[in-house]
Homo-oligomer: A and B are copies of this chain.
Amino acid sequence: MSKIIIPDIPKICKSTTSHFLKYFKANQKPQDAIVFLEGGLELPFYDTDGEYLFRQESNFHYLFGVKEAGFYGIVKMDGTRILFLPQLPESLQIFLGPNLRPEDVKRMYGVEEAYYDSQIEEVLSKLNPSMIYLYAKGVNSDSGSQPAPIRTKAVYKYSTNETELHDVLFEARTVKTKEEIDFMRLAINGTAEAHRACMKYCKPGMYEFELEAEFYRVAYGQYGMRNFGYFPICASGNKGATMHYGHAGHPNRKIMEDGEMVLMDVGTECHRYATDLTLTYPINGKFTEQQKTIYNIALNCNRGCEAAMKPGVKWYDIHELSNKLMLKGLLEAGLIKGDLEEMYKNDVHFYFMPHGIGHLIGIDTHDVGGFNLGIPRSDNCSLKKCRSNRVLEAGNIYTVEPGIYFIPFLLESGFKNEQVKKYLVESEIRKYWNFGGVRIEDDVLVTEEGVEVLDKNVPRTVEEIEAFMKH
């Protein structure tokens, strides 16, 4: 039975445009200035005749929501939006369906005006903007990448600003509008349901990819979420210690053995909004004592972080809190020894959790703006893994994803490190050598008062998981 999620694109994009214009201080700009954005193009498989399913450029998607390739768009300072669509040859209709016309585009995307891309120069000349703001220069703090060169040379007949727009767009996107939040809540719920189905489906002896396929059966087959914003990580046993397992070299092809856990870090996109949840559970539905120990420490980190999150709190402090809670748990479990603060200062936590506590999520899985405020990134080996150093605001959506991993080469390096080895109880740690890892990842909205966990319908405690998986 379909529970398809259908976005109201005009409504979402009107909300994001108006939100963006506030951040852009549009009312302080010359009123004949414009923002000019270029949509994405089709992407072939190398020099073959195949191609990737089209994926829109993220900022263009943010303001226009256009599903098709080859578009251009203008946002005026009063919020008016103009789209330009490619004029395709008539014969292409045989392959792609009836060609869109400007009136279709106005209706589908709720923009005030629409023209063919051949009319860009003419429209620009009528608008005669005193300034054209372009998404042309700036750095994505997660990838280090910069925008593609501007294809539309005609814009350079006018005064252009190539730097301001990038960071304002990124900053605006860190705080979601009500319409985005409502939509992401639906998408994350769909992803949570797909995870629940996997928990019911999971059995020893299956290949990991069988869970991936089961996930997709529900996420796409029921909720209509066709694309993955990142490749699914279905990591059983010791594979759970590989953060991005599931890539082309390790395509979720291990058999899931009785007694192991599986770490499922999987989320589909919905109208290009990402979801990103991780569940870790025993493949046979019943935790061993070892698994329970580690799982409960991770869950305590996850719950501790969520309880501490609210506007005004620094993301770095959440990362620190999680790692200290983990150290406390590992200490109680006898895997490490020594003074907590001293261990933290010596980066002992890094040997068990070598990644950041979470990241902004939105149109991109690692959503933009994590370092937009000019606060420098820490160069501490643990803190520098954080994908954000912001101070939390209502409307942020962050993943909260503490993990505890037993990564042999990393722990071996710890055993050899003069500063660290004295805190590690090697004999105990070696009992977990093939354990893999646990990660517990929620998608969490920061509210005025605290947080709303958007995936609250997934079983999380040991008791909930065991009860849910009992057949």
Query: Is A2 among interface residues, defined by CB-CB distance under 8 A?
Result: yes
**Contact between A207 and B148 (Cβ–Cβ < 8 Å)?**
no
Q: A213–B231 Cα gap in the complex (Å)?
A: 17
Question: A53 touches which one: B48, B93, B248 (CB < 8 A)?
Answer: B248
Residues of B within 8 A of A68 (CB): 248-249
Q: A221–B45 Cα gap in the complex (Å)?
A: 25
With A224-B209, A243-B94 as contacts: A229 and B365 at CB distance below 8 Å: no
Query: Is A245 among interface residues, defined by CB-CB distance under 8 A?
Result: yes
Q: A207–B3 Cα gap in the complex (Å)?
A: 10
Residues of B within 8 A of A251 (CB): 67, 226
Residues 224-262 of chain A, each 1 if its beta carbon lies under 8 Å from chain B, else 0: 101001110000000100111101111101000000000
Residues 261-290 of chain A, each 1 if its beta carbon lies under 8 Å from chain B, else 0: 000000000000000000000000000000
**Contact between B210 and A221 (Cβ–Cβ < 8 Å)?**
yes
Query: Is A217 among interface residues, defined by CB-CB distance under 8 A?
Result: yes
**Contact between B48 and A409 (Cβ–Cβ < 8 Å)?**
no
**Contact between A44 and B217 (Cβ–Cβ < 8 Å)?**
no
Query: Is A65 among interface residues, defined by CB-CB distance under 8 A?
Result: no
Interface core residue of A48, A96, A231, A239 (most chain B CB under 10 Å)? A48
Q: Give the Cβ gap from A427 to chain B, nearest Cβ, in Å.
A: 24
Question: A209 touches which one: B90, B221, B355 (CB < 8 A)?
Answer: B221
Closest residue of chain B to A405 (Cβ to Cβ) is B94
With A58-B46, A364-B48 as contacts: A2 and B148 at CB distance below 8 Å: no
Q: A454–B108 Cα gap in the complex (Å)?
A: 43
Interface core residue of A49, A57, A220, A368 (most chain B CB under 10 Å)? A49
Q: A182–B44 Cα gap in the complex (Å)?
A: 28
**Contact between B217 and A140 (Cβ–Cβ < 8 Å)?**
no
Q: A207–B239 Cα gap in the complex (Å)?
A: 36
Interface core residue of A93, A221, A355 (most chain B CB under 10 Å)? A221
**Contact between A48 and B58 (Cβ–Cβ < 8 Å)?**
yes
Question: A140 touches which one: B49, B58, B140, B366 (CB < 8 A)?
Answer: B49
Assembly stoichiometry (copies): 2
Q: Give the Cβ gap from A373 to chain B, nearest Cβ, in Å.
A: 18
Closest residue of chain B to A381 (Cβ to Cβ) is B91
Closest residue of chain B to A354 (Cβ to Cβ) is B94
With A2-B206, A90-B409 as contacts: A55 and B49 at CB distance below 8 Å: no
Q: Give the Cβ gap from A368 to chain B, nearest Cβ, in Å.
A: 8
Q: A67–B146 Cα gap in the complex (Å)?
A: 28
Residues of B within 8 A of A220 (CB): 209, 212-213, 216
Question: A52 touches which one: B52, B56, B100, B210 (CB < 8 A)?
Answer: B52
Q: A231–B53 Cα gap in the complex (Å)?
A: 6
**Contact between B226 and A49 (Cβ–Cβ < 8 Å)?**
no
Query: Is A312 among interface residues, defined by CB-CB distance under 8 A?
Result: no
Majority secondary structure of chain A interface residues (helix, strand, loop or mixed):
loop
Interface residues of A in 82-109 (CB under 8 A from B): 90, 93-98, 100
Interface core residue of A50, A206, A220 (most chain B CB under 10 Å)? A50
Residues of B within 8 A of A30 (CB): none
Q: A423–B217 Cα gap in the complex (Å)?
A: 47
Closest residue of chain B to A99 (Cβ to Cβ) is B409
With A97-B242, A244-B96 as contacts: A48 and B216 at CB distance below 8 Å: no
Q: A-B pairs with the 10 shortest C-beta distances?
A: A213-B221, A49-B142, A47-B145, A54-B248, A49-B366, A49-B143, A97-B242, A95-B244, A68-B249, A213-B220
A residues within 8 Å of B by Cβ?
2, 4, 40, 43-50, 52-58, 67-69, 90, 93-98, 100, 140, 142-143, 145-148, 206-207, 209-210, 212-214, 216-217, 220-222, 224, 226, 229-231, 239, 242-245, 247-251, 253, 354-355, 364-366, 368, 407, 409-410
Instruction: List 22 A-B residue pairs with CB atoms under 8 Å apart, sorted by A's residue number.
Output: A2-B206, A4-B207, A45-B58, A47-B143, A48-B142, A48-B366, A49-B140, A49-B145, A49-B364, A54-B249, A55-B248, A67-B249, A67-B251, A93-B407, A94-B242, A95-B244, A209-B224, A213-B220, A213-B222, A214-B221, A216-B216, A217-B221
